[in-house]
Chain A
Amino acid sequence: GAGVSQSPSNKVTEKGKDVELRCDPISGHTALYWYRQSLGQGLEFLIYFQGNSAPDKSGLPSDRFSAERTGGSVSTLTIQRTQQEDSAVYLCASSSLVGSYPTQYFGPGTRLLVL
């Protein structure tokens, strides 16, 4: 089946504007993750959704960042009042609960540039 998809693939915005990034997980995957990959750094965990449980938001860097997951499937990451330091590749991953430890499958990412 199809893998994790993300849109848009690239986004250029002006400082202070809001942006929405979308993630479509693999069908049937109950867990969804957002990570951020900044230049020269590893992947930084942002937020994690698992089924109907309350999301783990412990990685969100500020209250300008929020995420939703509607109907247990598609997720939207919203960044309000973007800053230049928000420029990064935002990666989404999903996993199922099958197996002793779920393997995360990553999407292609959204490259965000804040001018």
Chain B
Amino acid sequence: AQSVSQHNHHVILSEAASLELGCNYSYGGTVNLFWYVQYPGQHLQLLLKYFSGDPLVKGIKGFEAEFIKSKFSFNLRKPSVQWSDTAEYFCAVGPTDKLIFGTGTRLQVFP
């Protein structure tokens, strides 16, 4: 069955630290990959997406993600986090129109 795994459930960082959130999926065909973010009290927003082409995708607010097909991974990265990055991050896979989401990673950034 298709699934998405986010192994980091809760990440705590200090400002300026580097961030990498893991995302692995299980699906053998062509996939479309997404990272969504949910800031406290706000609704889900698209952070970045990959459909095809360059496997390194840049999104908003300095985030980027790299699609590694051989590893079935789409990890999210940011070189230097800010307090305002405190949020919950969801990886999603869309082999079809229905998105399959991971369980989310809660990121807390302390000043």
List A residues at the B interface (Cβ < 8 Å): 3, 31, 33, 35, 40-45, 48, 50, 56, 58-59, 91, 93, 100-109
Report how many A-B pairs have Cβ atoms within 8 Å: 54
B97 touches A42 (CB 8 A): no
Residues of B within 8 A of A58 (CB): 98
3 tightest A-B CB contacts, nearest first: A106-B44, A42-B101, A43-B101
Q: How far is the CA of A58 from the CA of B52 in the complex (A)?
A: 27
- Given A43-B92, A56-B98, A101-B49, 9 more pairs with CB closer than 8 A: A33-B98, A33-B99, A35-B101, A42-B90, A44-B101, A91-B44, A100-B52, A106-B44, A107-B43
> Known contacts A101-B51, A106-B44; is A59 also within 8 Å of B101 by CB?
no
A104 touches B49 (CB 8 A): no
Residues of B within 8 A of A91 (CB): 43-44
